[in-house]
Each structure stands twice: as C-alpha cells, then as structure tokens.
C-alpha cells in the first residue's frame, strides 16, 4: 500500500500574539460547516503527534522561545503554516517596539496564508498545500535524504536570537523602527506577501 502523510495530517495550532481574529477562523475551519476533517485533518494539542504547525499572530521576545520549542518537539517530516498577515510579516504591528516580525523570524515557514483575518477557506487551502510539502519531505526521508532541504527550511536565514537579557541581540532581527539590521531582509508592509519569500515556500491566495 502506498503510504502518504497527507492522507491523515494532524495539526497543532499556536496563537503567537494575535488579536484572536485568525484563531477564531482557524477553529471555524475545523467545525462541521467547513469540515477540514473531510481531508483527514485532526487537531491535536501534542507537538509530538502533529505534522503541521499552524501559527497565528506575530513573534515577539516572549513567544519566540515557545514557538521554537513547539517546532523542535515535532517529529520530521513537518510543515509550518503562517496563518494571517501578522504571522506572515508582523502585519499592522510590525513597527511596534515589541514585535520582532512574522513567524519566519523564529522558525522556517513552508506556507504563507495571508488575510486579516484569515478566512477558513484559506486555512484549508494552506493545510492542503502543506500536505503536498509533507509528501515531498517524506519521499526525501525515505530516500535517505534530509527533509530540511525541502520547503521553507531550505532557504531559511536562521531567524533572530535573544540575548541573556531576553532582548534581540545586536545585529539580528528588527530594530524599534521595524527595519531589518544588516544581513536580514526587511519585513514587508501589512497586506503584502513576505519580502523575498523563499522560492521553496508557498503562498496561498
């Protein structure tokens, strides 16, 4: 029997620092009205059981370690979906003093799904897109390759690092004006696709 990860993807959802608008829409996609379960999607609270990581909201110094911890607990192959414009780029809050940027400042992102708030149909489209990437990663692993060579991880710049004081270290991440320091791409304006979106990463309309 031909096994495919995409036949029964388990998702885990984390609210980074959103206004809860996108979180409501993510939950709506799992209700009987939109019925993401018809694709075999199962919502789980355990990172070790999850295949797809849905993140809403932007990244700040408080939640950056949490996002990375959840991501690191997930087993390969795995995919990350940035749900909503705040998760994609920081959105309207990208210039706030406490916002580092989108989810790709913390972990590699495979699928960008913009929207304010994101629509349930877009969430489902993003999960379906992530399922295709999961199959690619699984095929690479079965061939003895590294799944990190597929998807957003293949071109990820490493994100930002926090110093011992809990703040972003000099020369990494974004400053108070929201501009990137040397070596880091600037975050896009709210409503735009992420600047220099990696070719391997997908954007859902």
Beta bridge partners of 53: 12, 80
- The DSSP H or E segment spanning 131 is helix 120-142
Percent with pLDDT over 70 in the chain: 77
54 within 8 A of 26, measured Cβ to Cβ: yes
Residue 164's SS3 state is coil
In the block, tokens 């004006």 appear at 177
Q: What is the pTM of this model?
A: 0.78
Highest mean pLDDT among 27-31, 161-165, 169-173: 27-31
Q: How far apart are CA 165 and CA 185, in angstroms?
A: 24
pLDDT of amino acid 30: 87
What does the mean pLDDT of the chain come to? Answer: 81
- Which comes out higher in pLDDT, residue 122 or 188? 122
What secondary structure letter does DSSP report for 168? B
> Out of 37-51, 144-158, 173-187, which region has the weakest mean confidence (pLDDT)?
173-187
Q: How far apart are CA 54 and CA 205, in angstroms?
A: 17
CA nearest neighbour of 51 among 108, 135, 124: 135
Range 85-95 burial, b when 16+ CB lie within 10 A, else e: bbbbbbbbbbe
How does pLDDT run across 64-118, given as a tens digit for each residue?
A: 999 999 999 999 999 999 999 999 998 888 888 888 889 999 999 999 999 998 9
First to last CA, the chain: 34
Q: How far apart are CA 138 and CA 107, in angstroms?
A: 19
- Which comes out higher in pLDDT, residue 179 or 70? 70
């Amino acid at each position: 029997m031909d096994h495919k990860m995409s036949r029964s993807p388990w998702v885990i959802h984390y609210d980074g620092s959103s206004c809860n608008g996108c979180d409501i829409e993510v939950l709506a996609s799992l209700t009987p009205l939109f019925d993401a379960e018809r694709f075999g999607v199962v919502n789980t609270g355990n990172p070790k059981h999850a295949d797809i990581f849905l993140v809403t909201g932007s990244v700040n110094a408080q939640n950056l370690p949490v996002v990375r911890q959840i991501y690191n607990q997930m087993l390969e192959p795995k995919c990350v979906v940035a749900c909503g414009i705040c998760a994609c780029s920081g959105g309207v809050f990208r210039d706030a003093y406490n916002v580092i940027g989108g989810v790709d400042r913390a972990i590699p992102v495979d699928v960008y799904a913009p929207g304010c708030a994101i629509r349930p149909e877009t969430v489902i489209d993003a999960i379906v897109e992530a399922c295709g990437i999961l199959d690619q990663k699984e095929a690479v692993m079965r061939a003895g390759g590294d799944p990190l060579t597929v998807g957003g991880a293949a071109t990820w710049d490493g994100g930002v690092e926090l110093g011992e004081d809990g703040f972003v270290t000099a020369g990494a991440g974004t400053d108070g004006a929201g501009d990137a320091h040397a070596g880091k791409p600037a975050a896009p304006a709210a409503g735009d696709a992420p600047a220099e979106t990696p070719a391997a990463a997908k954007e859902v309309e």
